[in-house]
Every structure is written in C-alpha cells, then in structure tokens.
C-alpha cells in the first residue's frame, strides 16, 4: 500500500510512519520541522495553504491517508482559537473531501478530550462535552470528517512514546525530569488510558486492513492516574519515584481546563479486531525496550 502520514514529525506521525514503512511505501508530510529518515519519503508543506492538500494527494497517490497533524497544544489553542479551528476542524474537513473523491481510505486522529471527564468509561456513542478550545475544535473535526467521508475511520486516542524532539509525550517528560533528578508534579485526580504510539500506529494499520469505518476508541484497555503512570515509569527505569509529588490538577496553574476522568471503553475496537489493545504496562515495557534498543537516538537522527 501507498500510505500518506500527515504530521510525520510529531509523536504519533513519526512512529506510525516508521511502523508502516516496514511493509508499505510511506510518505510523511511535515510542516515546519523537517525530517531526514531513511525508511520513508518526506514532503514539506502546510495543509492550511490553498491547494496544498490537492497537491500532496496528487503527488503521493495514496491508498491510505492517516491524518495525525493538528494543533495539539491545549493552551496554544486557548490563546489562538481561530488557528485551532483552521487546523483541527477545517483542514480535516477539506482533507476528507479530497481523500474520498480520490477513492483512498482515511484515518482521522481525534482525542479523548472531547469528553468532560465527569463519569469515565466512555463508549463511542456517549454524548461529548468538550471543555477547552482544543477539545471543541477536535470534536468539530470529527463531525466534519464523518459527514464528508462516512467510510473514514475516526480514532479517539491518548498516547505516549518516544518522539524526534524528545519532548512530546508525558512519558518523555517524566523520563527527562526524573532522569535528571528533578522533582515533578503527578496528578492524582486525572485518569487516562495512554497507548504507546507504536502500538497505536499498528492498530490503525490493522483497522485499515480490516476495512473498518466509523468512530472507535483506540487507547489502552486499562487506565490509571497520571501520578501512577509516572511511578510505573520511574520504577521501570530505576528512577526515584519519590521525586513525583502527588498533586491535584486544580492546583496545577494550567490555562485550559482539563477533564478529570478520560477513561475510554475499548470493547467496540476489541470486537472489531478480535483482540484487545495492549495494557498500559505492556506499552511501558515496550517503551523501555525501545530505549534499550537505542530507538530514541534513531528518532533524533531523523531531525
């Protein structure tokens, strides 16, 4: 298959492109941060520019398009709502139009943050209630893609992993700070289901191969607090878990509101694929194994 991955310099895009390139011809689209990988071909361009989507699709002629690009910084979205709407809602709408017109399959990456986090264990048809500009524009992007291309896969995700910049995931943040002996906060009242980016990429490929369509929760099959996640990571790498200060999110000083319980139910995905997604511990074990295999250095060398 010929696969186009947008946002290929980001946490999900870079890892997904590398996983897909093991068996497919992959084109990775980047915006400002250029890459020089050997496993896949890189294109540079801003999808928000007039004519860029058409030009990229015409050049790559993909069978599958996996749209990872977004304005994902929650506080940046809060500070520039117009830009958030453009990148998180309008670009996906236009991309879906052109992908469907050309006969390719689309995966659109959304977020668990479309929920307010009041009840947790959300299923796909639970009513969303986004709390931030980021979450609202991502929800509007979901709806735009679903309306424009009913055959598209929409995946709500939460992920961690190694990134080219080394600073894109919560796991890297814990790793970098604890490894340097620095004390950090760990939220005891925010729950989530983070999935390793490499595993998430392979699940999307499996979903495409199974010709799925519609909305799925693509996260780990279990959950924990962000504090507990940090402690698990510390123990795995023999860092001092005592450096993680148990903290309430209400005392964090973050600009945008955060949802407290973003645990998602993965039964629909499990039934569709015939196997459940990995657990958080399995993902952390793989995160550790990738570190021992010098995988983070390989990612950095792509910059």
Domains, the chain, in order of start with CATH, read: 2-301 (3.40.50.720)
Closest CA to 230 of 241, 215, 216, 214: 241
Contacts of 132 (CB under 8 A, 6+ apart): 74, 77, 78, 113, 256, 257, 258
Q: pLDDT tens string for the chain (303 positions)? A: 999 999 999 999 999 999 999 999 999 999 977 788 889 999 999 999 999 999 999 999 999 999 999 999 998 999 999 999 999 999 999 999 999 999 999 999 999 999 999 999 999 999 999 999 999 999 999 999 999 999 999 999 999 999 999 998 999 999 999 999 999 999 999 999 999 999 999 999 999 999 999 999 999 999 999 999 999 999 999 999 999 999 998 887 776 677 899 999 999 999 999 999 999 999 999 999 999 999 999 999 998
Q: Which residues pair with 160 in a beta bridge?
A: 196
For residue 7, which of 108, 132, 136 has the smallest C-alpha distance?
A: 108
What is the rounded radius of gyration, in angstroms, for the C-alpha atoms of the chain?
Answer: 18
SS3 at position 46:
coil
Could you give phi then psi for residue 261, rounded to 5 degrees? Answer: -125, 90
- Which of 132, 277, 185, 110 is CA-nearest to residue 177? 185
State how beta strands 25-30 and 2-6 pair.
parallel
């Amino acid at each position: 298959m010929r696969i186009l991955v947008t946002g290929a310099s980001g946490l999900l895009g870079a890892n997904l492109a590398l996983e897909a390139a093991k068996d497919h011809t992959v084109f990775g689209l980047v915006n400002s941060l250029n890459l020089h990988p050997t496993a896949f071909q890189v294109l540079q361009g801003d999808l928000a520019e007039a004519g860029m989507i058409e030009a990229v699709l015409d050049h790559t002629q993909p069978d599958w398009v996996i749209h990872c690009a977004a304005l994902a910084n929650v506080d940046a979205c809060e500070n520039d709502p117009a830009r958030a709407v453009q990148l998180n809602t309008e670009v996906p709408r236009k991309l879906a139009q052109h992908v469907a017109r050309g006969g390719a399959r689309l995966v659109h990456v959304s977020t668990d943050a479309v929920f307010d986090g009041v009840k947790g264990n959300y299923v796909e048809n639970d009513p969303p209630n986004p709390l931030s500009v980021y979450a609202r524009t991502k929800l509007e992007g979901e709806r735009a893609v679903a309306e424009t291309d009913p055959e598209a896969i929409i995946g709500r995700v939460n992920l961690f992993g190694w990134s080219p910049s080394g600073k894109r995931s919560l796991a890297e943040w814990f790793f970098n700070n604890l490894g340097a002996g620095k004390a950090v906060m760990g939220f005891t009242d925010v729950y989530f289901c983070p999935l390793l980016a490499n595993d998430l990429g392979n699940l999307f490929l499996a979903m495409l191969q199974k010709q799925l369509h519609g909305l799925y929760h693509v996260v780990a099959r279990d959950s924990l607090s962000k504090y507990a996640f940090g402690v698990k990571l510390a123990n795995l790498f023999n860092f001092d878990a005592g450096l993680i200060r148990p903290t309430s999110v209400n005392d964090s000083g973050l600009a945008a509101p955060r949802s407290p319980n973003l645990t998602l139910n993965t039964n629909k995905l499990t039934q569709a694929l015939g196997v459940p997604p990995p657990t958080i511990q399995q993902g952390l074990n793989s995160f550790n194994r990738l570190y021992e295999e010098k995988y983070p250095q390989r990612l950095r060398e792509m910059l």
